[in-house]
Chains A and B, each alone.
Chain A
């Protein structure tokens, strides 16, 4: 907490609400964009251009009946979505949107991150794994076979792709010689090159593996609605279902932020201020996610595992070895 307790609490509140606002807008933007990709309009009725659609959705979800299935474990059933949402939101605690900044028209200087810890990357992956517990426990405690299948699939997929994801990221860590996210951005500034160029294979692997990590199309097998009803959140309704969706979306935003930091230099960029660059880069990744969703069909489960273990993991390992050799040779 570089700013002291009170300012950090205020910053956290602002950040969480901003993330929730972006999440709400993203649900609308995604549906509008997918609509346009499919040559239709998407939600355009509520408010100008449909921008108030998330509020209408919220109103609808809040009025839904709150159901706890017979035979479920109520405590776990109620806690599971909150665990996933917390883990997704907590990632933003270590994501830097810039360094020191002055609030306009005052002399107040604040840091544009909540915490700048030297193992930020490790913490993010730990929190990412932590959100699996929400999926696993939620699916198990619903006492429904579809939920259980869905949660098993989810965890198997996430564990498989976590390996490739971490391996892809280690290439960046080797080049930057640090696990701190501000450190990685500074290393890119010092090297004068964004790591998307030297670490291009790592970037591609990261993109594929992170799509699988947030279980979006084409890797949305945990909630493949055509086969599994809705996967681990089959038995959830109303706002608890929304919390799972929220967790997933926030994780998508978090992985976009992480991709911007690791491969596109984060808040590094000319002319515009740092946070704007950061948000622009995140928007590019979010658009890419939506583009992927509207283009690719869902992969088969055996191929998902095959891609994870037989393609991405060896490729990431190879990338790692080459990077290591080059880093040692340059030194």
Chain B
């Protein structure tokens, strides 16, 4: 009956009044991202300090949003930046165009570019969203670091079909 149901509804809302809110207080608490979360890009170096990027522009070719600009130059014995013959003199990613598809990471033959976990990329101007090589090469400051969930349930194929795998049945 409508009246009884209405009164029961009041009981339901009153019970919810004393539950702990499910809201996550975002700036204080950051929900860990999935291990394969695609966020801000990172350029990497070899262990000896040389850049992995050789300026081949395959990432720029693979980019569907056309947001990567690479200008290559020859390494010389006096000025050596990368392990290969050439290096990226200019390497820019326009973050306001990037769609975070990760194709650049797939296209790169030297694993020089990967997508990191940071997603707090807001800026006050469009110009500030054009990330230069220096910004991409630098290690992320600790304040920007995003918590990452443990990779076990997601990355490793488990024998237990219920963990991290989608059953086909």
Contacts and interface: CB of A to CB of B under 8 A. Distances in A.
Q: Which of A35, A36, A40 has the most CB of B within 10 A?
A: A36
B154 to A, nearest CB: 28
A41 interface: yes
Interface in A1-48: 33, 35-41
Contact of B16 (A38, A41, A296): A38
A291 interface: yes
Contacts of B21: 35-36, 39-41
For the residues of B in contact with A, the DSSP-based class is: helix
A36 B10 contact: no
A291 B19 CA distance: 15
Contacts of A35: 21
B14 interface: yes
Interface of B: 6, 9-10, 12-14, 16-17, 19-23, 25
Interface of A: 33, 35-41, 291, 294-296
A31 B56 CA distance: 56
A192 to B, nearest CB: 30
A296 B17 contact: no
A291 B12 CA distance: 11
Nearest to A297: B9
B9 A296 contact: yes
B16 A37 contact: yes
Nearest to B9: A295
A285 to B, nearest CB: 15
29 contacts: A35-B21, A36-B16, A36-B17, A37-B13, A37-B16, A37-B17, A38-B16, A39-B16, A39-B19, A39-B20, A39-B21, A39-B22, A39-B23, A40-B21, A40-B22, A40-B23, A41-B21, A41-B23, A41-B25, A291-B10, A291-B13, A291-B14, A295-B6, A295-B9, A295-B10, A295-B12, A295-B13, A296-B6, A296-B9
Counting chain A CB atoms within 10 Å of each CB, the highest count among B14, B19, B23 belongs to B23
Nearest to B10: A295
